[in-house]
C-alpha cells in the first residue's frame, strides 16, 4: 500500500544515503497517477477543502456540480487566511486523512506538497487541455517536470484608487505614496504573514531585484534594490502615507478599510473589484495596473489557487471530475463574472460577459501573463517567513533596512539548507 | 464551622469599633469599601456584558463601539444554531468532557483514597508524580501524541481526546478528593473494618457517600478543565465531526459571507459560556471549597 | 491506635492487603499518566534527537543534540523565553496584588459577599481561548471598544494599534490574563483570610496597631501558605501560556511564548525534530522553575501525604 511503498522508498534512500537522497525516481514511482478517462465514469462523494467562501461561488460550484452528474460534492471551508488554510491542510495530510478529496491550493504550496507525496500526479489530465491554460498559470502547478494540480484561478496585484480623490492614477509608486500622504493613505497587506511577502516582492520585482536566482540555489535578496525598496516602504509608514493599522491588515482588512472610505489607495487582488462595486464606494473607485518603481517596469507577483487531488482521497476519479468541472470554460466564466477571480483559461478573457464585468480584462490577462512567480522551493513557507518577519520588523521601525536585507539573506540560506 | 462563626463575630467587632471611633472615618471606610466592591464587579462583569452586547449586533453595528446595540437582533444566534458544524462541536465537547469527568472521578477517587488513607511505600513519589503532571506543558506531549494517534487510528476521534484530557484533569481531581477523604473521621472506617469489611468495601460503602460533595466539586472542576482544553483540541482533530468547541471557534469561518464573523463568534461564545456560568453560580460554594481545599489546610 | 489498626487488618483473611489494594487503586491513574504523559515525553526526546526531512517524505536521520543547538542559538527562542518570563513575572505579580486586594474587599463586604463571590467566578468560567478572542475584538484598531472609549474620553492611547505593536501587544495579553485569573487568585486567598482568627486582630488593636501594621504583621504572614500555593500554580500556568497569544496575535509583535513557538515550528514549519527539541526545552524550563520553587519556598505538599 501507500505507506509501505513510501517506507521502502525511504529505506532504499537511506541505503544509498551518505550523499543524500534526491531519490526522484523512487518518489515519482510512488505517486499515484490519475487517469483522465476515469473522471467520466466517476460516482460517489467528494469533499472540496478550500478557504472561506467570501463570494459565495464555492457553494454555488458545489451545488451545480452535484446537480449535474453522478458525483456529489461537498464544501469544507477552511479559515480565511492562506497560511491558516495551509496549516489545516498540512495537518490533515500528515495524518493521512481522507477527509479532503480536492484541495484548494495556494500556488506556492505545489512544490512543498508534491515533494511530500501528498498529491496525485495529474500530468495526463493536464496534457489533454494544456493549450487552454495561460502558460504562467501552468507553471504554478508544475514540480520536477510533472503536473500536480489544475490551475483554478489566477491573480495579479492591482492598485485601487478613489476616483473622487485622485484625478489621474499615478503610474509609479513614488507618486502613489506622495499622493497617499496628502490624501487618506495607502493600504495594503502589511500584517506579519505571506501577504506581506507578496507586497514586498512586487516592489522588489518592480525595482528589478530578485529573491532567489533562477535556478533557486543562490539567495539574491541582499541587494541595493532590496534595501531601496524596504527603505521606501518603511518611510511610507513613518511619514504617514501608510496608516499604522496597516501592520495588522490582510486582504480582507485592507479591503474593508478601503471600502469604508478610510483610504485613498489600496493594493489588492482583483477579487475586491466586484465586492467594491457592491459597497458604498461603488461609484467612486477604479483600478489601475501595477505602478513602476524607479526605473523598472511594474511587475506583479503571480497568485491564485490550483485544485489538486489528495493522495489519500478515497475517490480520486470523482475528485478529478470535480476538478475538471471547476476548470471548465463555463465555470471559469462564472467565477470571473461573479467572484472577480481571474480565470486561468486564455479564452475566458475574450468572453463578452467577462469583458463587461471586467472592463480591464485585457490588462488583467496581460498582467497575469507577465507576472512573476514567488520562489519555487519545497521549503517556501520558511523562505517566506524569513521575508515577512524581517520586512514587518523593518516597517515597524524595529530594524534598519540594511540590516533587514542581510537578515533575510542568512535566514533564507538557512531555510534552503533544510534537510 | 469556622467560616460560619466568623460573620457573627465580625459584625460584633465592627459595631464595637464603629462605636469606639469618630463616626466620620467609619463611614468613609465603608464608602471606600463599597467603591472597591463596585469596581471589582465592573472589572469582572464588563467584558462579559460586552460579549453579550456584541452578539446582539449585526452588520455595520459590529464596527461601531456602542454600549448598547442600536438594532438588537438575534440573527447571530440564528446563524450559529443553523450551523451544523457548531452544533456538532457542542455535542463533541459535551461528550468528551463527560467521558473525561467520569474517568477522572473513577480513577481519581481510587488513587485519592489510596493516597489519603492507605499505607504503602512510595506514597510520596506517587503523589509527586501525579502533581508533577500539572507542570507539564501540553505542547511537549502534543506532537508525540499526534504521531501515536495517527498510527493507531485515534487521530480525529472523540475517544482519542479523552486520554490527554484525563491526564490533565486527574491531578486536581485527586488533590481535591484526597482533601475531602481526609476530612472524614477515621473512626467510621475503623468501625466498618471491625464489622468485617475489607478496605475496599470501607471505601465505597462508608467513605464515598460521605465524600459526595467532594465528587460534585471535583467533577465540576474536571468538566470545566476539559471544556477549556485548547491545544490538544486543535492538534488531535481536524474534521468538524470530531472537533470540540474551542477548536471550532479557532477556525470559525462564520456563516455569513461578507460580514466579519465577530457577531457569530461572540454569539457562539455566549452560548458556550452562559450555561457554564450558570452552573458555576449554582455550585459556587462547592467550587470555592474545592479550589481552596489544599490552600488552607496544606 | 496505629498498632491496633494494623493488628486488625492482619487478622482479616478476605480482601486485599493494604499494600496490594493501594497498588490496585493507584494503578489506573498511573497507567493513564504513563501512557499519556511519560511515554510521549520520552518519545518527544527521541524525536528531538533526529531530523525529519521536510523535502523528502519519510526520511529522517540521527542528529544528536543538533536540534538543541539550533534552538538555543536562535534569537527566536530567546525572544520567546524572554517574553514568557516577562509575561509570567508581570502578570503573576499583578494578579497577586489584585487578588489580595479583592480578597480583602470580599472579606469585609459582609452584605454582598455571596454576590461578589459569584461575580468573581464569571471570568473564570469564560472559555480561555474565547476570552482571548473577546479581548482581541475589544482592542481592535480604530473601531474596537478600547480605542473608541479612549478617544471618546479624550484619554491618550486611542490611536494605538494595540495588538500590532511590540510592548502594547504584551500589555494586552497581560491584561487579558489578569482579567481571567486575578478573581481566581482572590478566591484562593479569601479562603486563607477566612481562617485567620479575629482575636489576633483584636489583640493588635488593643496594642494600638494601625490597619497597615495589622495587615503587614498579621494578615500577610498568616496568608503565606495560601499565597504560596496560588503563586506556584499561577506561575507554572503562566510559563505554559498558549491559548491567549494564539487568540490575540498568533505570536506576533513580541508575544511569542515558548509553547507557541514550539507549536509553530511543529505544525506550520513541520520541523518535527526542532519542534520536539523546543517542546522538551519548554518542559525542562517549567520543571526547573517548579523544583526551585518547591525547594526554596514550600513544604506544603508533604502535608497531604502524611498520616494523621
Domains of chain B: 14-76 (no CATH), 84-253 (1.10.3720.10)
Mean pLDDT over B21-40 rounds to: 71
Mean pLDDT over C175-181 rounds to: 93
pLDDT, tens only, A317-344? 999 999 999 999 999 999 988 887 899 9
| Chain B residues within an 8 Å CB radius of A277 | none
Residue A222 near residue A189, CB atoms below 8 Å = no
C-alpha torsion sign, points A55, A59, A62, A68: negative
- Do A143 and A262 fall within a single domain? no
- Do A51 and A74 fall within a single domain? yes
Are B297 and C282 inside 8 Å of each other by CB? no
Q: Is the pLDDT of residue C185 over 60?
A: yes
Q: For residue A157, which phi and psi values (nearest 5 degrees)?
A: -75, 150
Of residues B156, B253, B254, nearest to A97 (C-beta): B156
CA distance linking residue A290 with residue A168, whole number of Å: 14
Q: For residue A33, which phi and psi values (nearest 5 degrees)?
A: -110, 140
Are C192 and B295 inside 8 Å of each other by CB? yes
Give percent above pLDDT 70 in chain A: 93
- Report the pLDDT value the prediction gives residue A145, as an integer from 0 to 100: 87
Q: Could you tell me how many CB contacts below 8 A there are between chain A and chain B?
A: 40
* Nearest residue to B258 (alpha-carbon basis) of A54, C34, A374, C304: A54
Q: pLDDT-based confidence at B144, cuts 50/70/90?
A: very high
Mean pLDDT over B5-11 rounds to: 38
Of residues C121, C202, C240, nearest to B287 (C-beta): C121
Mean pLDDT over C259-269 rounds to: 90
pLDDT, tens only, C57-83? 888 899 989 999 999 998 889 999 999
Pairwise pLDDT comparison (A81 vs A401), residue with the higher score: A401
A92 touches chain B (CB under 8 A): yes
Neighbours of A280 (CB within 10 A): 11
- Report the pLDDT value the prediction gives residue B293, as an integer from 0 to 100: 59
Are A95 and B150 inside 8 Å of each other by CB? yes
pLDDT, tens only, B159-173? 999 999 999 999 888
- Report the pLDDT value the prediction gives residue A236, as an integer from 0 to 100: 92
Cell of C33: 499518566
Q: Choose the weakest-confidence range: A94-103, B60-69, B73-82, B103-112.
A: B60-69
A91 touches chain B (CB under 8 A): yes
Are A95 and B240 inside 8 Å of each other by CB? no
CA distance linking residue C125 with residue C233, whole number of Å: 18
- Report the pLDDT value the prediction gives residue A1, as an integer from 0 to 100: 45
Sequence-separated contacts (24+) of C78-81 with Cβ below 8 Å: C79/C254, C79/C256, C80/C256, C80/C257, C80/C258, C80/C260, C80/C261, C81/C258, C81/C285
Q: Could you tell me how many CB contacts below 8 A there are between chain A and chain C?
A: 75
Query: What is the ipTM metric for this complex?
Result: 0.83
- Do A50 and A173 fall within a single domain? no
pLDDT, tens only, A345-383? 999 999 999 988 888 888 888 888 888 888 888 888 889
**Percentage helix, strand, coil for chain A under 3-state DSSP, each rounded to 5:** 50, 15, 35
- Do A233 and A141 fall within a single domain? no
Q: Choose the weakest-confidence range: A225-229, B202-206, C258-262.
A: B202-206
Q: Is the pLDDT of residue A58 over 80?
A: yes
Of residues A54, A78, A96, nearest to B257 (C-beta): A54
Q: Is the pLDDT of residue C221 over 90?
A: no
| Chain A residues within an 8 Å CB radius of C67 | none
- Report the pLDDT value the prediction gives residue C305, as an integer from 0 to 100: 44
CA A294 to each of CA A157, A167, A242: distance values in angstroms, whole numbers, following the listed order: 18, 22, 19
Most confident of the following: B207-211, B266-270, C119-123, C274-278 = C274-278
Q: How does DSSP classify residue B242?
A: T
- Do A366 and A384 fall within a single domain? no
- Do A244 and A321 fall within a single domain? no
pLDDT, tens only, A298-315? 778 899 999 999 999 999
Mutate: best of C50, C52, C57, partner A, most A CBs <10 A: C57
Secondary structure of residue A184 in the 3-state scheme = coil
- Do A78 and A147 fall within a single domain? yes
Are C59 and A21 inside 8 Å of each other by CB? yes
Q: Choose the weakest-confidence range: A52-56, A226-230, C180-184.
A: A52-56
Q: Is the pLDDT of residue B9 over 70?
A: no
Mutate: best of A10, A87, A195, A248, partner C, most C CBs <10 A: A248
- Do A260 and A389 fall within a single domain? yes
- Report the pLDDT value the prediction gives residue B95, as an integer from 0 to 100: 95
- Do A182 and A235 fall within a single domain? yes
Q: pLDDT-based confidence at C9, cuts 50/70/90?
A: very low
- Report the pLDDT value the prediction gives residue C112, as an integer from 0 to 100: 67
Q: Is the pLDDT of residue B17 over 70?
A: no
**Counted domains in chain A:** 3
pLDDT, tens only, A67-77? 988 899 999 98
Q: Is the pLDDT of residue A129 over 80?
A: yes
Q: Is the pLDDT of residue B297 over 60?
A: no
Domain range spanning residue A178?
158-301+379-416
Are A27 and C164 inside 8 Å of each other by CB? no
- Report the pLDDT value the prediction gives residue C150, as an integer from 0 to 100: 81
CA distance linking residue C114 with residue B83, whole number of Å: 38
Give percent above pLDDT 70 in chain B: 84
* Nearest residue to B100 (alpha-carbon basis) of B205, B233, B212: B233
Q: Is the pLDDT of residue C153 over 60?
A: yes
Q: Is the pLDDT of residue B295 over 80?
A: no
Burial degree of C28 (CB within 10 A; 0-12, 13-18, 19+): middle
Q: pLDDT-based confidence at A31, cuts 50/70/90?
A: confident
- Do A389 and A281 fall within a single domain? yes
Q: Is the pLDDT of residue A198 over 90?
A: yes
* Nearest residue to B140 (alpha-carbon basis) of C283, C273, C235: C283
Are A245 and C142 inside 8 Å of each other by CB? yes
C165 touches chain A (CB under 8 A): yes
Q: Is the pLDDT of residue A254 over 60?
A: yes
Q: Choose the weakest-confidence range: A115-129, A403-417, B174-188.
A: B174-188
- Report the pLDDT value the prediction gives residue B258, as an integer from 0 to 100: 35
Q: pLDDT-based confidence at B298, cuts 50/70/90?
A: very low
pLDDT, tens only, C100-128? 888 888 777 666 677 787 888 888 888 88
Length of chain A: 419
Q: pLDDT-based confidence at C206, cuts 50/70/90?
A: confident
On average, the pLDDT of chain A sits at 85
C-alpha torsion sign, points A261, A263, A268, A273: positive
Mean pLDDT over C14-20 rounds to: 69
Q: pLDDT-based confidence at A113, cuts 50/70/90?
A: very high
CA distance linking residue A253 with residue A296, whole number of Å: 29
What domains are defined for chain C? 66-305 (1.10.3720.10)
Cell of C188: 484562593
A55 touches chain B (CB under 8 A): yes
Cell of C244: 491567549
Q: Is the pLDDT of residue B83 over 60?
A: yes
Pairwise pLDDT comparison (B166 vs C141), residue with the higher score: B166
CA distance linking residue A38 with residue A42, whole number of Å: 6
- Report the pLDDT value the prediction gives residue B175, as an integer from 0 to 100: 84
Are A95 and B156 inside 8 Å of each other by CB? yes
Residue A255 near residue A275, CB atoms below 8 Å = yes
Q: For residue A114, which phi and psi values (nearest 5 degrees)?
A: -65, -40
Mean pLDDT over A170-194 rounds to: 90
C301 touches chain A (CB under 8 A): no
Q: Is the pLDDT of residue A128 over 50?
A: yes
- Report the pLDDT value the prediction gives residue C300, as an integer from 0 to 100: 52
Q: pLDDT-based confidence at B292, cuts 50/70/90?
A: low
- Report the pLDDT value the prediction gives residue A281, as an integer from 0 to 100: 87
- Report the pLDDT value the prediction gives residue C308, as an integer from 0 to 100: 36
Mutate: best of B8, B29, B65, B116, partner C, most C CBs <10 A: B65
- Report the pLDDT value the prediction gives residue C177, as an integer from 0 to 100: 95
Cell of A304: 491564485
- Do A13 and A137 fall within a single domain? no
Pairwise pLDDT comparison (B82 vs C307), residue with the higher score: B82
Pairwise pLDDT comparison (A394 vs C209), residue with the higher score: A394
Pairwise pLDDT comparison (A174 vs B131), residue with the higher score: A174
pTM, full prediction: 0.83
Q: Is the pLDDT of residue C2 over 90?
A: no
* Nearest residue to A75 (alpha-carbon basis) of A100, A103, A49: A49
- Report the pLDDT value the prediction gives residue C8, as an integer from 0 to 100: 47
- Report the pLDDT value the prediction gives residue A382, as an integer from 0 to 100: 86
Q: Choose the weakest-confidence range: A12-26, A233-247, A272-286, C245-259.
A: A12-26
On average, the pLDDT of chain B sits at 80
CA distance linking residue B74 with residue B54, whole number of Å: 11
* Nearest residue to A126 (alpha-carbon basis) of A349, A320, A331, A376: A320
Are B146 and A52 inside 8 Å of each other by CB? no
Query: What CATH code is carried by the domain that includes residue A318?
Result: 3.40.190.10
- Do A236 and A384 fall within a single domain? yes
- Report the pLDDT value the prediction gives residue C90, as an integer from 0 to 100: 96
Mean pLDDT over B145-156 rounds to: 91
Amino acid at each position: 500500500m501507500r505507506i509501505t511503498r513510501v517506507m521502502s522508498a525511504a529505506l532504499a534512500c537511506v541505503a544509498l544515503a551518505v550523499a543524500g537522497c534526491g531519490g526522484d525516481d523512487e518518489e515519482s514511482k510512488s505517486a499515484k497517477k490519475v487517469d483522465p478517462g476515469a473522471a467520466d465514469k466517476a460516482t460517489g462523494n467528494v469533499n472540496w477543502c478550500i478557504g472561506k467562501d467570501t463570494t459565495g461561488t464555492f457553494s454555488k460550484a458545489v451545488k451545480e456540480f452535484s446537480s449535474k452528474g453522478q458525483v456529489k460534492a461537498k464544501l469544507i471551508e477552511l479559515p480565511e487566511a492562506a497560511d491558516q488554510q495551509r496549516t489545516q491542510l498540512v495537518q490533515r495530510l500528515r495524518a493521512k486523512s481522507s477527509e479532503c478529496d480536492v484541495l484548494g491550493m495556494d500556488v506556492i504550496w505545489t512544490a512543498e506538497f508534491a515533494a511530500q507525496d501528498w498529491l496525485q500526479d495529474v500530468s495526463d489530465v493536464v496534457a489533454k487541455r494544456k493549450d487552454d491554460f495561460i502558460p504562467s498559470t501552468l507553471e504554478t502547478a508544475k514540480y520536477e517536470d510533472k503536473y500536480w494540480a489544475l490551475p483554478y484561478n489566477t491573480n495579479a496585484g492591482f492598485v485601487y484608487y478613489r476616483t473622487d480623490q485622485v484625478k489621474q492614477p499615478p503610474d509609479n509608486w513614488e507618486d502613489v505614496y506622495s499622493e497617499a500622504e496628502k490624501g487618506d493613505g495607502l493600504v495594503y497587506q502589511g500584517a506579519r504573514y505571506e501577504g506581506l511577502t507578496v507586497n514586498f516582492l512586487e516592489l522588489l520585482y518592480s525595482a528589478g531585484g530578485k529573491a532567489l536566482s533562477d535556478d533557486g540555489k543562490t539567495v539574491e535578496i541582499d541587494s541595493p534594490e532590496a534595501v531601496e525598496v524596504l527603505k521606501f516602504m518603511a518611510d511610507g509608514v513613518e511619514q504617514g502615507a501608510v496608516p499604522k493599522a496597516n501592520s495588522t491588515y490582510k486582504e480582507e482588512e485592507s479591503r474593508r478599510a478601503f471600502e469604508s472610505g478610510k483610504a485613498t489607495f489600496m493594493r489588492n487582488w482583483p477579487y475586491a473589484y466586484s465586492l467594491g462595486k457592491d459597497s458604498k464606494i461603488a461609484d467612486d473607485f477604479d483600478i489601475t495596473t501595477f505602478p513602476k518603481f524607479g526605473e523598472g517596469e511594474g511587475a506583479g507577483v503571480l497568485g491564485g489557487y490550483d485544485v489538486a487531488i489528495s493522495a489519500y482521497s478515497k475517490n480520486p476519479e470523482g475528485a478529478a471530475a470535480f476538478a475538471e468541472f471547476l476548470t471548465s470554460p463555463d465555470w471559469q466564466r462564472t467565477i470571473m463574472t461573479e467572484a472577480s477571480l481571474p480565470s486561468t483559461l486564455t479564452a475566458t478573457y475574450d468572453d463578452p460577459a467577462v469583458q463587461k464585468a471586467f472592463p480591464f480584462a485585457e490588462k488583467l490577462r496581460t498582467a497575469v501573463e507577465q507576472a512573476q512567480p514567488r520562489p519555487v522551493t519545497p521549503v517556501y513557507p520558511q523562505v517566506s517567513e524569513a521575508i515577512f518577519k524581517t520586512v514587518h520588523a523593518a516597517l515597524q521601525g524595529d530594524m534598519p533596512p540594511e540590516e533587514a536585507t542581510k537578515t533575510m539573506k542568512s535566514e533564507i540560506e538557512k531555510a534552503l539548507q533544510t534537510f | 464551622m469556622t467560616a460560619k462563626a466568623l460573620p457573627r463575630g465580625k459584625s460584633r467587632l465592627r459595631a464595637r469599633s464603629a462605636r469606639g471611633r469618630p463616626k466620620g472615618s467609619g463611614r468613609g471606610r465603608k464608602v471606600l469599601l463599597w467603591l472597591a466592591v463596585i469596581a471589582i464587579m465592573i472589572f469582572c462583569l464588563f467584558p462579559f456584558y460586552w460579549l453579550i452586547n456584541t452578539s446582539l449586533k449585526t452588520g455595520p453595528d459590529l464596527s461601531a463601539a456602542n454600549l448598547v446595540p442600536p438594532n438588537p437582533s438575534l440573527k447571530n444566534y440564528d446563524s450559529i444554531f443553523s450551523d451544523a458544524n457548531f452544533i456538532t462541536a457542542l455535542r463533541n465537547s459535551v461528550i468528551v468532557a463527560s467521558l473525561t469527568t467520569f474517568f477522572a472521578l473513577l480513577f481519581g477517587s481510587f488513587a485519592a483514597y489510596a493516597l489519603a488513607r492507605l499505607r504503602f511505600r512510595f506514597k510520596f513519589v506517587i503523589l509527586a508524580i501525579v502533581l508533577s503532571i500539572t507542570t507539564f506543558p501540553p505542547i511537549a506531549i502534543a506532537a508525540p501524541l499526534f504521531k501515536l494517534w495517527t498510527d493507531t487510528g485515534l487521530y480525529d476521534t472523540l475517544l482519542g481526546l479523552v486520554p490527554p484530557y484525563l491526564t490533565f484533569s486527574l491531578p486536581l481531581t485527586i488533590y481535591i478528593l484526597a482533601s475531602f477523604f481526609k476530612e472524614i473521621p477515621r473512626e467510621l472506617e475503623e468501625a466498618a473494618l471491625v464489622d468485617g469489611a475489607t478496605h475496599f468495601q470501607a471505601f465505597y460503602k462508608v467513605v464515598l457517600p460521605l465524600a459526595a460533595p467532594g465528587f460534585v466539586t471535583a467533577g465540576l472542576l474536571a468538566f470545566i478543565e476539559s471544556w477549556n482544553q485548547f491545544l490538544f483540541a486543535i492538534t488531535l482533530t481536524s474534521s468538524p465531526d470530531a472537533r470540540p468547541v474551542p477548536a471550532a471557534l479557532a477556525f470559525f469561518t462564520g456563516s455569513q459571507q461578507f460580514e466579519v464573523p465577530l457577531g457569530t463568534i461572540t454569539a457562539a461564545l455566549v452560548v458556550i459560556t452562559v450555561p457554564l456560568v450558570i452552573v458555576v453560580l449554582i455550585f459556587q460554594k462547592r467550587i470555592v471549597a474545592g479550589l481552596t481545599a489544599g490552600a488552607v489546610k496544606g | 491506635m496505629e498498632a491496633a489498626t494494623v493488628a486488625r487488618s492482619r487478622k482479616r483473611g478476605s480482601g486485599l492487603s493494604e499494600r496490594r489494594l493501594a497498588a490496585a487503586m493507584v494503578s489506573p491513574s498511573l497507567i493513564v499518566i504513563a501512557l499519556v504523559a511519560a511515554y510521549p515525553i520520552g518519545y518527544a526526546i527521541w524525536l528531538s534527537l533526529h531530523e525529519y526531512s521536510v523535502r523528502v517524505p519519510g526520511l529522517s536521520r540521527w542528529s544528536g543534540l543538533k536540534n538543541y543547538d539550533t534552538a538555543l542559538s536562535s534569537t527566536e527562542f530567546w525572544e520567546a523565553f524572554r517574553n514568557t518570563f516577562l509575561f509570567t513575572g508581570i502578570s503573576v505579580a499583578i494578579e497577586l496584588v489584585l487578588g489580595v486586594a479583592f480578597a480583602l474587599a470580599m472579606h469585609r463586604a459582609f452584605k454582598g459577599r455571596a454576590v461578589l463571590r459569584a461575580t468573581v467566578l464569571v471570568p473564570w468560567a469564560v472559555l480561555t481561548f474565547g476570552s482571548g478572542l473577546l479581548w482581541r475584538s475589544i482592542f481592535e484598531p480604530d473601531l474596537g471598544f478600547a480605542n473608541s472609549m479612549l478617544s471618546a474620553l479624550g484619554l491618550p492611547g486611542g490611536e494605538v494599534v494595540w495588538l500590532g505593536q511590540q510592548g502594547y501587544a504584551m500589555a494586552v495579553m497581560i491584561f487579558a490574563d489578569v482579567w481571567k485569573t486575578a478573581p481566581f487568585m482572590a478566591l484562593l486567598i479569601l479562603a486563607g483570610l477566612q481562617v485567620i482568627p479575629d482575636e489576633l486582630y483584636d489583640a493588635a488593636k488593643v496594642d494600638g496597631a494601625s490597619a497597615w501594621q495589622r495587615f503587614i504583621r498579621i494578615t500577610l504572614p498568616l496568608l503565606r501558605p495560601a499565597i504560596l500555593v496560588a503563586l506556584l500554580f499561577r506561575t507554572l500556568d503562566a510559563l505554559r501560556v498558549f491559548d491567549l497569544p494564539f487568540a490575540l496575535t498568533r505570536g506576533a509583535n513580541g508575544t511569542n511564548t515558548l509553547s507557541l513557538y514550539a507549536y509553530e515550528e511543529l505544525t506550520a514549519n513541520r520541523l518535527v525534530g526542532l519542534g520536539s527539541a523546543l517542546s522538551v526545552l519548554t518542559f525542562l524550563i517549567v520543571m526547573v522553575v517548579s523544583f526551585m520553587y518547591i525547594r526554596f519556598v514550600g513544604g506544603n505538599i508533604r502535608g497531604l501525604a502524611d498520616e494523621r
